[in-house]
């Protein structure tokens, strides 16, 4: 099963195991591996899939760093893919009776209630309708994101951009502090501790962190960037500063493309405010310091098998390894669409559920499916109607707010492969 116009990778050394019935997906996984050059290996990736209660794919390939092969327990920074893991933790606490989706956040976190935030509920945050998507205008530097307690105070003092519940705007970075602050108030423990104690350990996940312990850093895949002699020479040259045109309030002029977007009713400055804190171009999520920090909306680190197993539990009515992790009643709530409006940041309707969004494929319809993708093209999701859960992580260079063609193609192929097994026909839609 070939992805049109995608060059077929050669000499892909695949490790792990898979069920023969998912060979088409394995072929697609091999095909999308970036081509290695003589001077460099572009990195590696891992794929895990559960189908009808059975793990049918658990494979990996490539390197986690130069000269270090990807292992079965290697983890990868997955950016927003981790939002779903944080949401799943919140649902666990809801199941335990510790919170209610429609309760005002200020009920649990009194300091949060000022500056027009008194009516914001947990549901508003899970469905990205709180109006608290802005980070750029709320902090002076991306480095501030490393200070968990400072960021909680930032959002205690923040003012929503619109009345909660009236619009939809992806809380790209703020999501983690908004929900994490509630979790800490409820439990009296750090969000990283609660995540390990209430999600990772009960589900038996082999690699899932917000804030990677120092002893686990060697397991984390990092981008492998080849630097040519010409690039090294250019880096040593001092480039003259370029004075950019700046509009009032420090805004840069919009590009022609952004002006066209604005004509459709979206404000490109809002996306910048949600996604790009000042100084983000000098901020790397792959340094040890950032990996060890707690930024739950953006720096979750996972193995593919951990994400796939978490979603497999959601497919299986909340049961994992014979234990009831979430109640069936709770699980049924998770696929319910909370809004269908066009997202002001993502620019398309995301059909937000309670912390998850719709599955983005190349054609296959998945009305009951939900999951979350990450900025680097990682992604994980489940489809209860097919009994299917899927996770893909990597350390390739590149970025895209809605994933990338590799993820779209793997998602489409996984759904086709499942349909082939269920009905004998793969179909495109």
Of 45, 83, 73, the residue nearest 299 (C-alpha): 83
Whether 64 and 105 share a structural domain? no
Structural domain includes residue 271 = no
Whether 196 and 312 share a structural domain? no
Contacts of 130 (CB under 8 A, 6+ apart): 120, 124, 160, 164, 171, 178
Quick check: 403 and 360 in contact, CB under 8 A?
yes
Q: Which of 258, 292, 326 is the last residue of a domain?
A: 292
Position 234 scores a pLDDT of 40
Domain tally for the chain? 2
Q: What is the CA radius of gyration of the chain?
A: 21
Structural domain includes residue 32 = yes
Whether 47 and 145 share a structural domain? no
Whether 205 and 324 share a structural domain? no
Quick check: 111 and 157 in contact, CB under 8 A?
no
Structural domain includes residue 183 = yes
Q: Which of 265, 292, 319 is the last residue of a domain?
A: 292
Strand partners, 302: 76, 208
Position 3 scores a pLDDT of 52
Position 239 scores a pLDDT of 44
Position 110 scores a pLDDT of 98
Position 34 scores a pLDDT of 83
- Torsion sign across C-alpha atoms 305, 306, 308, 309: positive
Structural domain includes residue 242 = no
Strand, helix or coil at 45? strand
Range of the domain at 393: 15-68+298-423
Q: Which of 261, 292, 323 is the last residue of a domain?
A: 292
Alpha helix segments (H runs only) across 277-404: 288-292, 304-315, 328-334
Whether 414 and 313 share a structural domain? yes
Position 296 scores a pLDDT of 97
Whether 102 and 53 share a structural domain? no
DSSP H or E run through 319: strand 319-320
Whether 103 and 182 share a structural domain? yes
Q: E-assigned strands of 331-406?
A: 370-373, 379-383, 388-394
Quick check: 216 and 206 in contact, CB under 8 A?
no
Strand partners, 47: 59, 392
Position 192 scores a pLDDT of 96
Structural domain includes residue 79 = no
Whether 123 and 157 share a structural domain? yes
Instruction: Please list the pLDDT of the chain residue by residue as tens digits (429 residues).
Output: 555 555 565 678 999 999 999 999 999 999 998 876 555 568 999 999 999 999 999 999 999 999 899 999 999 999 999 999 999 999 999 999 999 999 999 999 999 999 999 999 999 999 999 999 999 999 999 999 999 999 999 999 999 999 999 999 999 999 999 999 999 999 999 999 999 999 999 999 999 999 999 999 999 999 997 654 444 334 334 444 444 556 666 688 988 888 888 888 889 899 999 999 999 999 999 999 999 999 999 999 999 999 999 999 999 999 999 999 999 999 999 989 999 999 999 989 999 999 999 999 999 999 999 999 999 999 999 999 999 999 999 999 876 666 678 999 999 999 999 999 999 999 999
Position 40 scores a pLDDT of 57
Quick check: 290 and 222 in contact, CB under 8 A?
no
Whether 126 and 207 share a structural domain? yes
Ramachandran bin of 15, using left for φ above 0, alpha for ψ from -120 to 50, beta for the remaining angles: beta
Domain of 34, CATH number, reads 3.40.710.10
Structural domain includes residue 264 = no
Half-sphere exposure of 144 (CA within 13 A, CB side): 21
Which residues are part of the catalytic machinery?
A: 80
Structural domain includes residue 142 = yes
Structural domain includes residue 395 = yes
Strand partners, 391: 48, 380
Quick check: 372 and 379 in contact, CB under 8 A?
yes
- DSSP label at residue 22: G
């Amino acid at each position: 099963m070939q992805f049109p116009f995608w060059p077929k990778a050669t000499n892909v050394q695949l490790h792990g195991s898979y069920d023969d019935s998912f060979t088409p997906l394995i072929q697609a996984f091999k095909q999308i591996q970036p081509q290695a050059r003589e001077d460099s290996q572009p990195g590696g990736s891992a794929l895990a899939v559960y189908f009808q209660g059975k793990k049918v794919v658990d494979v990996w390939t490539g390197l986690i760093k130069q000269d270090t092969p990807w292992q079965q327990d290697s983890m990868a920074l997955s950016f927003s893919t981790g939002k779903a893991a944080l949401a799943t933790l919140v649902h666990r606490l809801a199941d335990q009776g510790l919170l209610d989706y429609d309760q005002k956040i200020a009920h649990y976190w009194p300091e949060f209630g000022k500056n027009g935030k008194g009516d914001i509920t947990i549901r508003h945050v899970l469905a990205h309708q709180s109006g608290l998507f802005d980070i750029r205008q709320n902090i002076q530097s991306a480095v501030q994101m490393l200070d968990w307690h400072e960021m909680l105070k930032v959002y205690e003092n923040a003012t929503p951009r619109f009345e909660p519940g009236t619009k939809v705007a992806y809380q790209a970075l703020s999501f983690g502090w908004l929900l994490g602050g509630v979790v800490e108030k409820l439990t009296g423990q750090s969000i990283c501790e609660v995540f390990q104690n209430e999600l990772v350990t009960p589900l038996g996940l082999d690699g899932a962190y917000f804030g990677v312990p120092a002893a686990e850093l060697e397991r984390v895949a990092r981008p492998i960037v080849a630097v040519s002699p010409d690039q090294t020479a250019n880096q040593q040259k001092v480039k003259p500063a370029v004075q950019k045109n700046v509009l009032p309030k420090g805004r840069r002029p919009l590009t022609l493309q952004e002006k066209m977007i604005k004509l459709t009713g979206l404000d490109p400055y809002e996306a910048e405010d949600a996604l790009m804190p000042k100084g983000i171009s000098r901020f790397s999520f792959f340094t040890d310091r950032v990996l060890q920090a707690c930024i739950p909306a953006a720096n979750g680190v996972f193995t593919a098998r951990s994400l796939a197993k978490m979603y497999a539990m959601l497919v299986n009515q909340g049961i994992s390894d014979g234990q009831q992790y979430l109640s069936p009643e709770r699980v049924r709530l998770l696929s319910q669409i909370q809004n269908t409006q066009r997202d002001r940041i993502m620019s398309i309707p995301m059909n937000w559920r309670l912390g998850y969004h719709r599955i983005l494929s190349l054609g296959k319809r998945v009305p009951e499916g939900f999951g979350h993708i990450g900025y680097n093209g990682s992604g994980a999701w489940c489809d209860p109607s097919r009994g299917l859960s899927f996770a893909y992580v990597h350390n390739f260079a590149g970025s895209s707010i809605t994933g990338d063609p590799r993820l779209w193609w793997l998602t489409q192929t996984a759904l086709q492969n499942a349909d082939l097994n269920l009905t004998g026909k793969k179909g495109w839609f």
